[in-house]
Structure 1
C-alpha cells in the first residue's frame, strides 16, 4: 500500500456516515456559566476518541513523500488545541478482496508509526499512559492507536498481545457486520457475544487493552459490558433515544456502560439528525442526553473526523459522496448512510471545532468544570485507569 492509498483508506476508515434524528428537548445545567476563554481552554486536556490526520480538502496531498504532514495539516492540527487522539488503524472492513487481514493490519500499523516518527516534533506515540502525560509536558500531541474491528485477531487470543506490543491499546470488538466475536450495527441486534468473544474480553482485561463497543449490536454490547471486569468505552456514537438508527446506542447500553465506569463518546456525524443534516445543535442535544443518562463523568467526544477547515464545500460534498458510495459498494456502510451526507458538523468544522463546542455548551449554561470533563478530562481519567 503506497502513501496515497494509505491516507485515502485511513480517511475512509475514520468516517462512518449516517442519517436520521430529532434533537429532542434536554435540560442543560442550571448553573450560570461564563464563556470559555482561549487561555482557559488551552490549559485543558482535549481528547478526540476517534480522529484521523488528513486534509479533507486534499486527502492525497496531506502526507508528503518523507511521511511529514503538509504545512496545512500541521498548522490546523496545532491550532486545534488537541492534546491526544485515537487513530484508527488495521483493516476495519470485513475483508479487502485478495488481502490477508492480519498482514494488512500490521502494514497499516507500520505506516502510522512512520507518520508519527516523521513528525516527532509534534506527535508522540502512546505505549503507556505515562506517554500521554509526557506529551502534554512536551507540548506534543499524543497519538494512541486503535482497531475498529477485532476480526484481525482471527481465532488466536495471543494476537491481543501481539497487537498491543505493536502499539494498539484500544480494540473495538466489531465493526458493522458480524465477526467471530459478536454482532455489529448492521446485523441482528440480538446476536450475542460469542464464546470466543467472552475469551477476548477476558484477555483484553488481563492485558489492559481498552475495549471499544462502537458499531456493536445491542446484545453484543450489553453482554460485553457485563462480562468485562474493567471500564470500557463506546468512543464514537450517538443516542438512539434521539435518533433511532443502529449506529446509535440505547439508554440501556449507555447506562450500563456508565455503571461499569466506562465512557460514552459522541461523534460529529450525520447519524445525529433525523434528516442527516446534522449540525452543532444536534451534537449538543446528544451530549446533553448522554449526560442525563450516564452522568457528566462518563461522557466524551469522538469526532470520527479530521481537524482541517473547509476551503470548498461543494468539492468536499462531491468527495464525500464518492467515499460514501465506495463504503456502500463494499458493504462497510451502516444503516442510514446515504449520498448527500456530510461527515462533520458544517458549522463547527476545522481547527476551532472543540473550542466552538466548548462555548456552545457554555451558552447552554453548562459549567466550565463539566465542559472540561466532556472535552477530555473524563477520557484522561479512563485511560489512566485502564492503562495503569
Structure 2
C-alpha cells in the first residue's frame, strides 16, 4: 500500500445513524475476482520501477464507494454523502486523481440532477471528509501532484462532468473554481445553456452563452472537458478555446460505432490544438469488433488506435471507474445518464464488471502492466501515464 495511508475511513469523525444515514458499502478490495496481467519476473521489476519513477494520473475517475446492494443506490445518492475509497486508493499506483463527483447521479434534491445547490453540497461534504485526513490531498495546482508522490499520498482534484448547474450565470464558474474545481465539462449527455450533449439527434454547436463560458473558463484557469458534448459542440469548443482542451474519458467511434465515443475528426482536432485524450473504461463503452467482451484488451485497443491517430503526446488514461457495482449503477441511473441511448448502434456481450478495470486501483496497475507487457519504451510510458496531462494542465492553470 501507499506509505501515506494511515487507515482513515470516510466520515469517521461522525457517528453512524446518529449524524447520518449509514449504508453497508461494497468491498473496496476484491469485490470480484481480481485480475492482474501476468508478467515475467523481469517485467515485474520494470513495472515497479516505472511506478516508482513516474507520475501516474487518472484524468477521470469516481473513487467513491457504492452500496453493497445496488438497489440502495438511489437512497444513498439522495443522502448526499458519498464515501471515498481511501483503502482502495491506497492499493492503487495513482499519484493524482480527477474525482468527477456525483456527475449524473447528483440527485440529492431533484430526480433530474445537476442542480446548483446539490453540486455545491456534494463538493462541500466530500471536501470536508477529505479535510479530516491527510492521505488524499485536496490539490490546487501541478506542484501538489509532485508533492503527493514524494510523500506517498494522492493529489485529489475536484472535476465536474458538466456546466449545466451554472445555468446562465458566468460568475458561478469563479465560485466553483474558488471551491476547488479545476476542470469542468461543457455539457453532460443532455444539452444545456452552453451547448448540445452527445445524446441529441441534432447538434447546433456551442451557444452564444457557451462561447462566453469558454472564454471565462480560459480566463479563470479552469481546464475544459468535452467528453459528453455532441460532435459539433466539441469541435466548436476546441476551435474557440485559447487553451488546449481535454477529452478526459472517451474511445474511438471507428472501433465501436456508438454515440458515447468520438469520431476521428474530433479526436484529431483535439490533438492538433494541443489537447489530450483520456481512454474510457466504464462498462460497455470501449468495446471493439475484435473484442466484443469489454475488458482490458478492448480498452487498450482503443488506446493504441487513438495513439496511432493523434500521436503519443496526446493520449492518456481516464478510466471512469469506481469502487462497487458499476453495471448496477448504470442500470439504476440509465435515464439520468442516458446510458442506453448512447450505446445504440452495436450489439455487445453484457458483462457484470470489466475484467482488469474493475476499479481505479486495478485499472491503474493493469495499465502499467499492459504497457510493460507490450514493450512500450520508458519515454512513451512516462508521457501517457502523466506527463501529457501535466503539459496541458500547465497551459490551462494559473499556477
- Matched with 1:273 is 287
Q: Distance in 2 between matches of 1:222 and 1:205?
A: 16
Asked whether the 8 Å contact 2:115–2:165 carries over to 1, the reply is yes
SS at match of 2:100: strand
Distance 1:379 1:99, change over 3 A: closer
Distance 1:352 1:368, change over 3 A: farther
* Structure 1: segments with no counterpart, 5+ residues: 12-32, 309-315
Shift of 1:322: 3.9
Asked whether the 8 Å contact 1:90–1:152 carries over to 2, the reply is no
- Matched with 1:246 is 259
Distance 1:295 1:4, change over 3 A: farther
Asked whether the 8 Å contact 1:90–1:106 carries over to 2, the reply is no
Q: Distance in 2 between matches of 1:263 and 1:343?
A: 30
Shift of 1:2: 5.3
Q: CA-to-partner distance for each residue in 1:106-147, whole Å, 9 max, x for gaps?
A: 101101101211222x11111233322322233220011111
Q: CA-to-partner distance for each residue in 1:326-361, whole Å, 9 max, x for gaps?
A: 222446425218998458531343534323222322
RMSD: 3.3
Asked whether the 8 Å contact 1:116–1:125 carries over to 2, the reply is yes
Distance 1:375 1:207, change over 3 A: same
Match status 1:325 vs 2:331: yes
Distance 1:249 1:125, change over 3 A: same
Asked whether the 8 Å contact 1:246–1:335 carries over to 2, the reply is yes
Give 1:128's match in structure 2, choosing from 122, 138, 141: 141
Q: CA-to-partner distance for each residue in 1:262-281, whole Å, 9 max, x for gaps?
A: 11000113211158621111
- Matched with 1:148 is 161
Asked whether the 8 Å contact 1:47–1:84 carries over to 2, the reply is yes
Q: Distance in 1 between matches of 2:61 and 2:331?
A: 21
Distance 1:382 1:287, change over 3 A: same
* Structure 2: segments with no counterpart, 5+ residues: 1-18, 29-41
- Larger relative contact order (C-alpha < 8 A, sep ≥ 6)? 1
Asked whether the 8 Å contact 1:320–1:341 carries over to 2, the reply is no
Q: Distance in 2 between matches of 1:296 and 1:239?
A: 15
Give 1:86's match in structure 2, choosing from 86, 91, 98: 98
Asked whether the 8 Å contact 1:47–1:375 carries over to 2, the reply is yes
Shift of 1:203: 0.6
Q: CA-to-partner distance for each residue in 1:208-234, whole Å, 9 max, x for gaps?
A: 110000111000000110000001100
Shift of 1:201: 0.6
Distance 1:250 1:329, change over 3 A: closer
Asked whether the 8 Å contact 2:326–2:353 carries over to 1, the reply is no
Distance 1:206 1:330, change over 3 A: closer
- Matched with 1:105 is 119
- Matched with 2:38 is none
Shift of 1:3: 6.6
- Matched with 2:128 is 114
Q: TM-score, normalised by structure 2?
A: 0.78
